Amino acid sequence: MRIALSTGGGDAPGLNAVIRAAVLTALGRGWEVLGVKRGFAGLLGEDDVVALTSDSVRGIAHQGGTILGTTNRGNPCKWPKRQPDGSYRDVDRSGEVIANARQMGIDAMIVIGGDGTLGICRELCDKGMHIVGVPKTIDNDVAGTVTTFGFDTAVNTALEAIDRLHTTAESHDRVMVIEVMGRHAGFIALHAGLAGTADVILVPEIPFEMGKVCEKINARAKAGRHFSIVVVAEGAASRGGEVGTMGPSMPGQERRVGGIASRIAHLIQESTGKETRSLVLGHIQRGGTPTGYDRLLATRFGGAAVRAVEQRKWGHMVALQSPHIVTIPIAEALREAKQVDPSHDVVQTARQIGISFGD
Taking the complex as a whole, the smallest distance from the CB of residue 234 to ligand F6P amounts, in Å, to: 6
Choose the stretch contacting ligand F6P; rule: CB under 6 A; options: 39-47, 57-65, 135-143, 156-164.
135-143
Cα separation, 354 vs 215, in Å, equals 12
Q: Judged by CB under 6 A, does residue 139 bind ligand F6P?
A: yes
Taking the complex as a whole, the smallest distance from the CB of residue 66 to ligand F6P amounts, in Å, to: 13
Q: Judged by CB under 6 A, does residue 72 bind ligand F6P?
A: yes
**C-beta separation of 305 from 151 below 8 A:** no
Taking the complex as a whole, the smallest distance from the CB of residue 114 to ligand F6P amounts, in Å, to: 6
Q: Are strands 175-180 and 200-202 parallel, antiparallel or unpaired?
A: unpaired
Choose the stretch contacting ligand F6P; rule: CB under 6 A; options: 36-44, 102-110, 136-144, 168-176.
136-144
Q: Binding string, 30-69, against ligand F6P, x = CB under 6 A?
A: ----------------------------------------
Q: Judged by CB under 6 A, does residue 281 bind ligand F6P?
A: no
Pick from 17, 33, 155, 181 the residue near ligand F6P by CB under 6 A: 181
Pick from 6, 66, 75, 137 the residue near ligand F6P by CB under 6 A: 137
> Going by C-beta distance under 8 Å and a sequence separation of 6 or more, which residues neighbour residue 219?
none
Work out the number of other CB atoms within 10 angstroms of the CB of residue 190: 29
8 versus 10: smaller Cβ distance to ligand F6P: 10
Which residues, 242 to 271, sit near ligand F6P by CB under 6 A?
256-257
212 versus 256: smaller Cβ distance to ligand F6P: 256
Choose the stretch contacting ligand F6P; rule: CB under 6 A; options: 35-43, 61-69, 84-92, 176-184.
176-184
Q: CA triplet 290, 296, 301: central angle to 5 degrees?
A: 105
- Which residues are the active-site residues? 139
Which residues, 208 to 237, sit near ligand F6P by CB under 6 A?
234
Pick from 109, 138, 175, 306 the residue near ligand F6P by CB under 6 A: 138
Work out the number of other CB atoms within 10 angstroms of the CB of residue 324: 9
Pick from 4, 8, 10, 13 the residue near ligand F6P by CB under 6 A: 10
List of residues contacting ligand F6P (CB under 6 A): 10, 72, 137-139, 181-183, 234, 256-257
